[in-house]
Amino acid sequence: MAKEEKLKRPDGREKEELRKIEAKVGVIKRADGSAMFTFGGSTAIAAVYGPRTLHPQHLQDPETGVLRCYYDMTTFSVSERKRPGPNRRANEISFVTTKALQPAIQIENFPNTAVDCYIMILQADASTRCAGINAASLALANAGVPMKELVSAVSIGKTGDHLVVDVSKEEEDFTVMKDGKEIKAATDIPFAILSRSEKISLLQLDGKINSEDLKEAIELAKRACKKIAEIQKKALKKVKDEA
């Protein structure tokens, strides 16, 4: 018995349709590299500084350069003012973002240095960490950091019976009535995939999912990230027109 209820997404999108994406490189002139990336209502800006000398000295690695990513949200990015400064969620996202970008960069030839990547969310409408990773990947390339490939990120969700690509805030907040109570019934799975080798560098799960759906989610994510990688590529190539 197939799941017959036709998928109706709150904004009318198809299952695999991404929200409107805007990607622009070189938005922060003073940084070594920078980029802005938008998924519909979620906007992230990333600025990269480095490779540069790492202070304090005890954090230096004599065998390679070190990548440090910092994720934070502006106070006005959400409808209820977010208190400034990183919180636990931001620290966790900073950590996974660093891990997601690390396999793509090659800074072994810059021992004792750091490459710092600062990500700010200007407007939040779900999938902010994915927007952040996409922006950071562009900023790193723009900064001339040696990279094996680009990193693209997208979130796959499950609302009710259907898997969807690029979760929006409404879908993230999807609830169902159970025993007269409204309970959260959405599943959010952010992915980050390396553009050329198609390896997954970030995979998180928020909610419930069965193994069949997870396998399908991986396939959906790979397809979506291919599209996103193309958009990232175009944004980088556009630098010349503005020169």
Residue 45 beta carbon to another protein: minimum distance, rounded to whole angstroms = 17
Residue 180 beta carbon to another protein: minimum distance, rounded to whole angstroms = 52
Please state the length of the chain. 243
235 near 23, Cβ under 8 Å?
yes
How many residues in the shown chain lie near another protein by CB under 8 A?
Answer: 35
- Is the CB of 148 or the CB of 208 nearer to another protein? 148
149 contacts another protein (rule: CB under 8 A): yes
DSSP state of 206: B
Q: Which helix (H) or strand (E) holds 50?
A: strand 42-53
196, 199, 215, 223: residue in contact with another protein (rule CB under 8 A): 196
Specify the pairing of strand 66-73 against strand 151-159.
unpaired
3 contacts another protein (rule: CB under 8 A): no
- Half-sphere exposure of residue 45, counting CA atoms within 13 Å on the CB side? 13
195 contacts another protein (rule: CB under 8 A): yes
Report the alpha-carbon distance of residue 214 to residue 156 in Å, rounded. Answer: 10
Which x/- pattern over 37-66 shows residues binding another protein (rule: CB under 8 A)? Answer: -------------xxxx--------x--x-
What sign has the CA pseudo-torsion 89, 94, 95, 100? positive
> Residue 49 corresponds to which tokens in the numbers above?
């500084």
What sign has the CA pseudo-torsion 103, 106, 109, 110? negative
- Is the CB of 93 or the CB of 154 nearer to another protein? 154
- Is the CB of 147 or the CB of 163 nearer to another protein? 147
Which x/- pattern over 116-145 shows residues binding another protein (rule: CB under 8 A)? Answer: -------------------------xxxxx
Site residues, another protein (CB under 8 A)? 32-33, 50-53, 62, 65, 104, 106, 110-113, 141-150, 194-196, 229, 232-233, 236-237, 239-240, 243
